[in-house]
Amino acid sequence: MKIFQVSDIHGRLDIAELIPERAEGLKADLIVIAGDITHFGGAEEAEEVLRIISRAKLPIFFVSGNCDPPDLLSWRPKELNAKNLHGSTQELMGVVFIGVGGGSGKFKTLTELEEEEFEEILRKFEDISGDFVLVSHSPPWGLDVDFTGVKHIGSKAIRRVIEDRQPILMCTGHAHEGRGVAKLGRTTIVNAGPAKNGYCALISLEEGAVEVELLTIHPKD
């Protein structure tokens, strides 16, 4: 499976316009959006972004972020092949995906969750066995992928879940400066960087092996 990952689009329609061709050009099977679809916008703006990206004719799995409104946590877009993973699961090509939206850290943004809330949501997935993929706007605390250059802004609850459950892959964002790939046990954690600045990632997931390419959305690399 090839996963085209973006996060932190922040309402940039010009960036959204580039994603379908880029994802198709990389022969992706799935587009994952790890939060901050809008920049303090609402469901209407999020739907516009997803409608543009859905031109790729690929399934889309997404979670909302801290700069998206709280109602996007439970929002289910109609007439789009886009599935909200927050507190739910989806399966594609035999791989189970789970998700949690909202942001860690205290920034006075629209949707910020307490550690107890992350823990409660992720507890719903305790019965999942075998390899699975976690999609979360908020990264695990204390790694390069959650570091802003000043401080770590990830979630300690999410880190505990990764350490305990060891998903094969985690797709995340939130920390714009934390673009990169990290390992926590067997889990590969990918912060593709902010799509609003032109960043994305291509992840190959085959028989328990994970390969990651950090790319740009404009096909120059």
Render pLDDT for 111-130 as a digit per residue (tens, 0 to 9).
999 999 999 999 999 999 88
**What is the pLDDT averaged over residues 191-215?**
96
Q: Does residue 221 register a pLDDT over 60?
A: no
Q: What is the pLDDT of residue 21?
A: 96
**What is the pLDDT averaged over residues 11-34?**
98
Torsions phi, psi for 86 (to 5 deg): -60, 115
pTM of the model: 0.97
The bridge status of strand 199-206 relative to strand 209-216 is antiparallel
| 82-84, strands of its sheet edge to edge | 82-84, 60-63, 30-34, 2-6, 199-206, 209-216
Q: What is the pLDDT of residues 27-39, one digit of tens each?
A: 999 999 999 999 9
Return the percentage of the chain with pLDDT > 70, whole number. Answer: 99
Q: Does residue 161 register a pLDDT over 60?
A: yes
* Residue-averaged pLDDT of the chain: 96
Q: Residues near 69 by Cβ (< 8 Å), separated by ≥ 6?
A: 38, 40, 41, 42, 43, 110, 111
Domain ranges of the chain: 2-216
CATH class for the domain made up of 2-216 = alpha beta
> Residue ranges of the alpha helices (H) in 30-114?
43-53
Q: How far is CA 80 from the centre of its chain?
A: 18
Q: Does residue 63 register a pLDDT over 60?
A: yes
Q: What is the pLDDT of residue 208?
A: 82
Q: What is the pLDDT of residue 218?
A: 87
